[in-house]
Amino acid sequence: MATINDVAALAQVSKATVSRYLNNKSVSKKTKIIIKKAIDELGYVPSQIAQGLSNKKSNIIGIIVPDIINPFFSELVSQIEKKAINDNCSCMIFASNNDIDIEKKSIQTCIDYSVQGIIMATSNILNDMKIDIPMVAIDRDYGNSIKYVGIDNKKVGHIILDYFIKEGCSKILCVMGPTNVTTTREREQGIVDKALQHEIEVDFINTSYFDIDKISTDIMNLKNENIKYDGIFLGNEIICLVYLKLRMKKDCVLMSMDGTFLSSLLFNDIKVIKQPIIEMAHSAYQMLLQWNDQTERIILDVEVI
């Protein structure tokens, strides 16, 4: 693979002159022609990272998600990456495991590499960091401090209860993700608000969204209690798969969340709240690139399938 030194040697100019050419800085017309000819002949591809460090801006987008095991986040990342590739951009992808230290290190790495901006679904707002680059929150809502693309999770809580009420359920269990995640807290609040209106009894279990061992343990602990519920909400498709694998109670109404490719393959008899994953990814990407636009929040609708 050709290097910048190879280009400089073939063009018979200094490495610094090639660097100025690559970064659109002052170079004579004649020298530009010579360097371009050398680049074409060698098939040299400039390093986006090196250019970014020089220009204080690169063609790189940072993406921080809790994990890529969860098909919701893997599809979200895939859709963002497709948009970036079409614009000749690259993506740096981080899986944080909802760990604040990993989230901070991921953001700092993005800053060090002069990314254009960050699309993130972190469990923390990270107000203690000095961040001077565009940031868009996706799925996780931090209020007005960071631009946001996602859904109305309190409304999702209402949709969950409405479905179980329609099905005649009176004792409902909700197996949710961890409470340090905004989506969990907001959905639980929506469920509680609706349950109080209709005097429906609801219990909550908080587990992981993607740690299969923890989900299995938490669900197995329900085995003796499981019989009393006639409606069970399973917080995402991984939780739903673990529940089905453990052959827990099936003679009750089940509902799950997200609506990735797994839903159509595995959940024919289970209602699913489908998130607009493609729309979310594309909207977050456009919001990041059109940073000076006044749009601060985009709230998208879900669909029950």
The number of domains in the chain is: 3
- Residue 223 counted as domain residue: yes
User: What's 182's domain CATH number?
Assistant: 3.40.50.2300
* Residues 157, 264 within the same domain: yes
Asked if 192 and 160 count as a contact pair (C-beta separation under 8 A), the reply is: no
CA distances from 125 to 14, 120, 184 (A): 46, 10, 16
pLDDT tens, position by position, 168-218: 998 999 999 999 888 999 999 999 999 999 888 999 999 998 889 999 999
The verdict on residue 206 lying in a domain is: yes
Distance (Å, rounded) from C-alpha 224 to C-alpha 204? 15
How many angstroms separate the CA atoms of 234 and 241, rounded? 9
Residues 21 and 163 in one domain: no
Answer yes or no: is pLDDT of 278 > 70: yes
Rounded (10°) CA dihedral 157, 149, 68, 246: 10
The token duo for 42 is: 């060698």
Residues 219 and 243 in one domain: yes
The answer to whether position 262 is within a domain reads: yes
**What average pLDDT does the chain have?**
87
pLDDT tens-digit map of 107-159: 989 888 889 899 999 877 666 666 778 999 999 988 777 899 999 999 999 99
Same domain, 266 and 171: yes
Answer whether residue 51 is part of any domain: no
List helix spans (H) across 3-65.
Answer: 4-11, 15-22, 29-42, 48-55
| Confidence (pLDDT) at 56 | 56
Mean pLDDT value across residues 264-284 = 91
* Domain extent at residue 140: 60-151+278-304
Given this model, what pLDDT does residue 233 score?
96
Q: What's the predicted TM-score (pTM) here?
A: 0.76
